Structures are given as C-alpha cells and as structure tokens.
C-alpha cells in the first residue's frame, strides 16, 4: 500500500484499499503480508477522519462504523458460509468450521484495532451506546454463519459420537474444540450449547440405547445384560469427560440409567433369573464390581432392597 494523506476523499480511498487488502489476505489470494506499517497507516487514517469536525455531528464517525459493519456483513455470507455449505463429510465440515472461526476472530481483531478510535471514553460508539467493535464482529459470525450451519454441525458431531459408540476411533480433540465453540460463540454462556447441541445429543442417546437394550434383552441373560449396561455407563462417563461440557455428564448418565434400567425393569424381572449386580461407579470400579443400579429410583423399580457383593 502506498502512503496517502488521511483526510478528505483521499483518506477514504486509502481506507477502502487497506480493508480490501486485508480481505484478500484472509481469502488466501495473492497479496503482500499485512505488516505493522500498514496497520499504523490505516489506524491513523481512521483517527484523522474520525477527528474531523462534521455537520451533522458524527457524520464521518457513523460512516466509519457502518464501513466496519459492512465489511463483515458482506464477507460472512459471501465467502465464509459457502465454504461450509459445500462440506458434506463430518470431518471436513467440522475442520472447516474451526478454521473459519479462527480466521474470523483474527480478522475481527485486526479490524477492531484499525477502527479503535471509534470506541473508548467519549468516542462515537460509547456515546451512541452501540455494540463494541469486537462484540459486533463475533456476533456477525454467530448470526450470519453459525446459525445457518449449526444443525448440520450438530448432526455431524452426533454422528461421530455414534460411530465411536460402535467402536470406531474418532478425533476427540476435534469434537471437543467444536463443542467449545458452541460456548465461546455464546460469549461463555451455555444456552447455545444446551439448546442447539445437548438436547439433541441426549435425545439421540436415548434412541441409540433403546435399540441396543431391545436387542440385549432378547439375546442375553440378565447377568450379561447388566454387564453390558455397566460397560456402557463406564464408556459414556469417559466420553463425557473427554469432549462434552462438564454439565452434560450427569444428564447423560441419568438418562442412560433410566433407559437401560428403569424402563427395562419389568422385562428383566420377567426373565426370572435377575440378580443383584453392581454397575461401575467411575474410576473406582473394576471388572468385578457391578451394581444393579446406583439410584434409588432404579432400585425401587427393580425391586432391589440391598446390593450383594
């Protein structure tokens, strides 16, 4: 970028060319690296434009803020979203999502630094009580990209979890990072994670283990059934600790105990050979330690008064 004065039309032209360069870099197009000198020139341009007296008041500041917003509102649906929509493999989609999110945060960081004169004590954004630069930038990704693909992302993660349940080794780190994104994109709140992923994951878990339990009841003795239940609970606790949010573990084990024990209680008792067994209790359990259930509700449903060792 050539040095230009940062006032009047020349300043606006310089700013437009600088932002175009930034976007081209993030699109992977041939462009010289964006260095500290480029940043300082753009920052100075914004500062000078923002400092000029205008009529009506804040005319140029408003235009600068709108320019910042427009860059992101145009870039997200035209460049980022199509690259995600064209991914159909679970791994390709999730990796592209994390890549897009990381690139977006970096772009927002740079743009926020360039437009920094707009916010701060007494500055335009503060006076007008507008969303701050970084907050608006991150919300753009959530509103214009993530909301459009979150169902597809949720389905991809659940599909990988089911594949792991069937014995396939999956990329647990990738799954963990994607689920962390559900929280990060909601500014650390759990609403997006719980509503857009966890509820569906728990429903899928019930359906998955309902099918499994129906087959086990028909094929296995009560003793073998209880061994399988114990192994499932142990694996699901491990699964939850690796990549689900901490609050999900208790919910997951609760619905599993209900589906595999409470719902199946009458069928197990009808076999006539049901005995008290112990199920694994996390890390404290070995292969010889099983209990028929670890909740009072399950014990009552199964008619178990005391556990046997």
> How many other CB atoms are there within 10 angstroms of residue 210's CB atom?
13
For the cut 90, the answer to whether the pLDDT of residue 301 exceeds it is: no
Question: Quick check: 34 and 24 in contact, CB under 8 A?
Answer: no
User: What pLDDT score was predicted for residue 7?
Assistant: 52
Closest CA to 58 of 124, 103, 120: 124
Beta bridge partners, 291, equal 278
The whole-angstrom separation of Cα 172 and Cα 276 is 35
User: What pLDDT score was predicted for residue 213?
Assistant: 93
The whole-angstrom separation of Cα 107 and Cα 181 is 17
Whether the model clears a pTM of 0.85, i.e. scores above it, the answer is no
Radius of gyration of the chain (CA): 28
- 35-39, 179-183, 239-243: range with lowest mean pLDDT: 35-39
The whole-angstrom separation of Cα 143 and Cα 76 is 10
265 CB-side CA count, 13 A: 15
- How many Å from the N-terminal Cα to the C-terminal Cα in the chain? 78
Model confidence over 250-259: pLDDT tens digits? Answer: 999 999 999 9
pLDDT category at 271 given cuts 50, 70, 90 is: low
pLDDT category at 134 given cuts 50, 70, 90 is: very high
Better-predicted residue by pLDDT, 89 or 52: 89
- 12-16, 124-128, 303-307: range with lowest mean pLDDT: 303-307
Q: What is the largest CA-CA distance in the chain?
A: 90
For the cut 70, the answer to whether the pLDDT of residue 294 exceeds it is: no
User: What pLDDT score was predicted for residue 186?
Assistant: 92
């Amino acid at each position: 970028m050539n040095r230009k004065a940062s006032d009047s039309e020349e300043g606006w032209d310089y700013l437009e060319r600088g932002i175009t360069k930034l976007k081209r870099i993030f699109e992977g197009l041939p462009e010289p690296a964006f260095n500290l000198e480029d940043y300082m020139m753009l920052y100075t341009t914004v500062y000078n434009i923002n400092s000029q007296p205008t009529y009506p008041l804040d005319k140029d500041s408003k235009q600068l803020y709108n320019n910042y917003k427009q860059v992101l509102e145009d870039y997200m649906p035209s460049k980022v979203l199509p690259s995600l929509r064209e991914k159909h493999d679970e791994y390709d989609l999730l990796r592209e999502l994390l890549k897009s999110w990381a690139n977006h945060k970096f772009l927002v960081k740079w743009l926020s630094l360039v437009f920094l004169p707009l916010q701060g004590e007494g500055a335009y954004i503060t006076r007008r009580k507008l969303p701050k630069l970084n907050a608006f930038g991150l919300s753009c990704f959530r509103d214009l990209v993530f909301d459009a693909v979150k169902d597809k992302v949720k389905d991809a993660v659940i599909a990988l979890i089911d594949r792991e349940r069937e014995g396939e080794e999956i990329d647990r780190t990738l799954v963990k990072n994607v689920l962390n994104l559900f929280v990060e994109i909601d500014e650390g709140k759990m609403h997006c994670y719980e509503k857009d992923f966890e509820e569906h994951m728990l429903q899928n878990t019930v359906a998955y283990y309902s099918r499994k339990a129906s087959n086990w009841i028909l094929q296995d003795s009560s003793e073998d059934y209880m061994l399988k239940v114990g192994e499932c609970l142990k694996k699901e606790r491990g699964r939850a600790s690796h990549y689900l949010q901490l609050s999900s573990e208790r919910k997951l084990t609760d619905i599993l105990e209900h589906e595999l024990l409470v719902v199946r209680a009458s069928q197990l008792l009808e076999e006539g050979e049901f005995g008290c067994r112990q199920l694994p209790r996390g890390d404290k359990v070995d292969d010889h330690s099983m209990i028929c259930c670890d909740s009072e509700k399950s014990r009552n449903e199964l008619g178990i008064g005391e556990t046997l060792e």
